[in-house]
Amino acid sequence: MTVRARTTNRRREVRAVSRLGQRRQVVIPKSICNELGIRQGDFVEVTRRKDQVVIRLKKLVDPEDTLTPDEEKAVERGFRQLKRGEYVDWEALKNELGL
């Protein structure tokens, strides 16, 4: 397997050739895994873009799935209210919201 490095405008691009194995498995070269911190058992996302297959490292919790600073403040405010004993019964809330 040959790995060639080529520098682009703002990022380093590394290309490698791998063979598709049994059960459609692809081996990511060790140098790329080491550079990106990918370990056995990590999750990856596989996307098709026209005639390309794009493999991206996938964290169990994506940044898109985390709370915004405003949402974090609202959750903290809610916890403080709970500690003070300020809460609304679920059935009362559903009635109030018309659910």
pLDDT digits (tens, 9 = 90+) for 56-88: 988 777 677 788 888 899 999 989 999 999 988
At CB < 8 A and 24+ separation, what contacts does 78-87 make?
none
pLDDT (average), residues 85-93? 87
d(CA 24, CA 77): 49
Per-residue pLDDT tens for 22-31? Answer: 999 999 989 8
**Does pTM surpass 0.85?**
no
- pLDDT above 90 (res 46): yes
CA atoms of 89 and 87, how far apart (whole Å): 7
